[in-house]
Amino acid sequence: MILSVSRRTDIPNYYSEWFLNRIKEGYVYVRNPMNAHQISKITLSPEVVDCIVFWTKNPEPILLRLDEMDHYKYYFQFTLTGYGNDIERNVPHKKKSMIPIFQKLSHKIGKEKVIWRYDPIIFTDKYSMEYHLKAFEQIAEKLHGYTAKCVISFVDIYVKNKRSMKTLNPYFPTENDLVSFGKEIALIADNHNIKVASCAEPVDLSSCGIEHNCCIDKELIEKIIGCKIQADKDKNQRKECGCIESVDIGAYNTCKNGCQYCYANDSQESVFQNCKLYDVNSPLLCGKIAENDKITERKVKSLKEKQLTIWDI
């Protein structure tokens, strides 16, 4: 099993103590986003968790406690953009705080295990193409030698972020403009020994040297764990997404980063109300078990290939 921690919320930043408690207890409860009364009990034993993929904008709270996860393999998807607090309200200052934290994490676990995400890219009067290219270059320079890969994407409009995105008055470049932009991004990254890939993008940037990305990446996971795995494409993601199947243990409406482009929160009020239910010792993130909830143990297993093939000899 590949554990996603988490596309739905920033667990390393806000709920790292809860997560480490779940690791110690050996299981977690996850409420079904589509049916609130269905709860899955998921085993977190190292025997079934092949790799953990962390998603975060600030891993500092978990950084000093990674030694508590010595029995697990993992890597980080670390979002680091050029936006200010007008778009990413609760993310600390990039130059003063986040870049040094990125470098510290990379030094501790290795640059291959820290994926830089410069996404989503939003174009506005303030955050123009020229602005993004300048910001990208400044960050890439600081991350030279600290990461091997950068993932980019262009913002998508969802029901949950439509209202907040409208206040930013974004504009949407033509495909030709995006290709030209992609070429500049790829050139900057190449100058700093960073490979660029796109995340779930319908636009083809392969002419720029930017291939479609797999955030839950079979090839990278096999390299990290030193073993082949059997895994299918994640059918629950968009068709452009190349990720393999994983189990996400996060909860929507719990992320406190306050990003204007967020698709995981209905509102700041819903986040506030849910966070009042946070209990570091609860098996459930930001919630309580109700009488009409049904808890079912989810069948999970290791995806590692146990039988050698002729190609392994």
Buried b (16+ CB within 10 A) or exposed e, 157-189: eeebbeebbeebebeeeeeeebbebbebbbebb
Instruction: Name which of 217, 261, 265, 235 is nearest 33 in CA terms.
Output: 265
Rounded distance, CA 246 to CA 302, Å? Answer: 11
> Per-residue pLDDT tens for 277-289?
999 999 999 999 9
> Per-residue pLDDT tens for 216-232?
999 999 999 999 999 98
Phi, psi of 295 (to 5 degrees): -100, 125
Gap between the terminal Cα atoms of the chain: 26
Buried b (16+ CB within 10 A) or exposed e, 118-135: bbbbbbeeebebeebbeb
> Per-residue pLDDT tens for 1-44?
999 999 999 999 999 999 999 999 999 999 999 998 999 999 99
Provide the edge-to-edge strand list for the sheet that holds 74-79: 211-212, 195-198, 149-154, 114-121, 74-79, 51-56, 2-5, 247-248
Instruction: Name which of 113, 202, 195, 98 is nearest 153 in CA terms.
Output: 202
**CA-CA-CA-CA torsion for 141, 142, 144, 145, nearest 10 degrees?**
170
Q: State mean pLDDT over 91-110.
A: 98
Given this model, what pLDDT does residue 27 score? 98
- Three-class DSSP category at 200: coil
Given this model, what pLDDT does residue 310 score? 46
> Per-residue pLDDT tens for 232-270?
888 888 777 889 999 999 999 999 999 999 999 999 999
- Grade residue 307 by pLDDT with cuts at 50, 70 and 90: low
- Set out the domains of the chain in order of their start, with CATH numbers: 2-312 (3.80.30.30)
311: pLDDT strictly greater than 70: no
Phi, psi of 304 (to 5 degrees): -65, 140
> Per-residue pLDDT tens for 178-206?
999 999 999 999 999 999 999 988 888 99
Given this model, what pLDDT does residue 309 score? 52
Q: State mean pLDDT over 302-311.
A: 72
Rounded distance, CA 90 to CA 271, Å? Answer: 13
* Mean pLDDT score across all residues of the chain: 94
Q: Are 22 and 11 in contact (CB under 8 A)?
A: no
> Per-residue pLDDT tens for 54-92?
999 999 999 999 999 999 999 999 999 999 999 999 999
- Three-class DSSP category at 145: coil
Given this model, what pLDDT does residue 235 score? 83
- Three-class DSSP category at 77: strand
Cβ neighbours for 302, distance < 8 A, ≥ 6 positions apart: 1, 47, 48, 50
